[in-house]
Amino acid sequence: MEEIRNYTMNFGPQHPAAHGVLRLVLEMDGETIVRADPHVGLLHRGTEKLAESKPFNQSIGYMDRLDYVSMMCNEHAYVRAIENLLGIEAPIRAQYIRTMFDEITRILNHLMWVGSNALDLGAMAVFLYAFREREELMDVYEAVSGARMHATYYRPGGVYRDLPEQMSKYRESPWHKGSDLKRLNAWREGSMLDYLTEFTNDFPKRVDEYELLLTNNRIWKQRTVGIGIVDPEKAQAWGMTGAMLRGSGIAWDLRKKQPYAAYDKMDFDIPVGVNGDCYDRYLVRVEEMRQANRIIRQCVDWLKANPGPVMVQNYKVAPPSRVEMKNDMEALIHHFKLFTEGYGVPAGETYAAVEAPKGEFGCYLVSDGANKPFRVHLRAPGFAHLSSMDAFVRGHMLADVVAMIGTYDLVFGEVDR
C-alpha cells in the first residue's frame, strides 16, 4: 500500500486578510496543519536605516507608515524617545491632546480590526458598520493635520498645532441635499471638541450594534471559540503584548503600569480574557473601544476647560511663530535652521514605548550628538506575535489559520519595517 505523505501549501503572499504581504508555507495532513512557517520581509522598506539618514523631525512621517492603522501611536513612541534624550517635556495641554488622539487611534485600529476580521470569517455587514464610525474619526485626523491617515501631528516638545475651532462641513452636492445635509452637519456646528462630545455620546450605541451582529452569533462563535488558545505562560514566553496578552488573562497595560502622557489622570479599566482564544481576544478589543471612548470624553472635558500652549517655547525644537519671524531676524534664522539642519540631540540612548492598539510599540534610539539618530530600532508588536504562528495553529484546520491571522491583528508595515 502506498504511503500517504504530508503536502506543502503556499498560503499567500496575496492573502487579503494580512494587511500586507505574508507568505505562510503550510505543511498539511489533509486539512490539518502540521507546521506553519511564516515568510516575512516582503514589505521591507528600510525604515530604521532611512530614519538614521535624516534629521530627527524628518522621520516622524516614517512612523505613520509602519502600522498604517495606528498612525499617531507610532509617532508618540518616537517623539517620546527624542524628548527623553533632549530632556524636555511637552506642555500639559499637549499631553492631554496626545492621550486623546492615542485613544482615537485605538478606536480607529479596532474598528478596522473588527470589520476586516469579521470579513475574513464570512461576515460582510460588520465591515460596513465599522467603517461608518471610522470615517467620522478620520475627519478628526484631517482637521488637526490636513491628512486622513499619515498625520505627522506629534512633535518633540508637543504637537503641531492646537485643536481647530471649527470642523469642516459637508457642502451641497448631487448626493447631499436639504435635510440630509443638515443631518450630516449636525455635529459640525461647533469646535472639534464639540464634535468629539457628540461622537462619544453616540459611539457606545454603535459598539452595541457590532456586538448584536457578532457576540452571540452562532457562526462567529464556531469560528472563534476554542481556536488559537494561548495560555498565560506561553503568551509571556513569546513576548506577546496588547490584546494578545490580555486575552489570556494577564492585565498588563503600559497606560496603567508605566503611565505616560496624561494616562495617570484618566479613569479607565483594563479588560482581560479568561480562555485566551480568538473569541476572548475579540471581547477584549470590543471592550477596549468602550474604554477608549471613556478616555476621549475625559480628555475632551479637560481640554475644553484648560486652554494653554501645545508646544514648548524652545527655538531649538519648535519653530517661532510667523509674527515673531516678521519682527525678529534671529527668530527667522532659527526657523530656517530648524527646517534645514534640524537640531543636535545630546549623546545617549533611550527606549520609549507606548501601549499601541496592537500591543507594545517601542523605539530604541541612540544619539551620538549629531542632528540625526545614530541608531533607530523599532519594537513592533506584530513581529513578536507572528513568530508564534507555528506554535498555535498546529493541529488546527486550514480555515482556522485565517482566524488566527485575524486575531493577531497584523499590519506588515511594522512587521517587515
Tell me the pLDDT of the chain (417 aa) as tens digits: 445 578 888 877 765 545 667 888 888 888 888 888 888 877 788 888 898 888 888 888 888 888 888 888 899 999 999 989 988 888 999 999 999 999 999 999 999 999 888 888 888 888 888 888 898 898 888 889 888 888 888 888 888 888 888 888 778 777 666 667 777 778 888 888 988 998 898 899 999 988 898 888 888 888 888 888 888 888 888 888 988 899 888 888 898 899 888 899 988 889 998 888 889 999 999 999 999 999 999 999 999 888 888 888 877 777 777 777 777 777 777 777 777 777 788 898 999 999 999 989 999 999 888 888 999 899 988 888 888 888 888 888 888 888 888 888 888 888 878
Place of cell 481647530: 164
Kindly write down the DSSP assignment for every residue of 288-337, as one continuous string.
HHHHHHHHHHHHHHHHHH----SB-S-TTTSPPPHHHHHH-HHHHHHHHH
Just give the CATH number of 7-87+90-311+346-415: 1.10.645.10
DSSP state, 358? T
Are the CB atoms for 411 and 19 separated by under 8 Å? yes
User: What does R_g of the chain's alpha carbons equal in angstroms?
Assistant: 23
Q: Nearest to residue 36, comparing CAs of 305, 390, 277?
A: 390
Kindly write down the DSSP assignment for every residue of 3-18, as one continuous string.
PP--EEEEE-SS-GGG
- pLDDT for the residue 1: 46
From its phi and psi, is residue 224 left (phi > 0), alpha (psi between -120 and 50) or beta? alpha
Are the CB atoms for 373 and 54 separated by under 8 Å? no
Q: Give me 64's grid cell.
A: 505613520
Q: How far out from the chain centre does Cα 94 lie?
A: 19
Distance CA(185)–CA(182), nearest Å, equals 5
Q: How many CA atoms lie within 13 A of 207 on its CB side?
A: 22
Are the CB atoms for 91 and 103 separated by under 8 Å? no
CB count within 10 Å of CB 39 equals: 14
Helix (H) or strand (E) holding 165: none
- pLDDT for the residue 3: 53
* Per-domain residue ranges of the chain: 7-87+90-311+346-415
What pTM does this model have?
A: 0.89
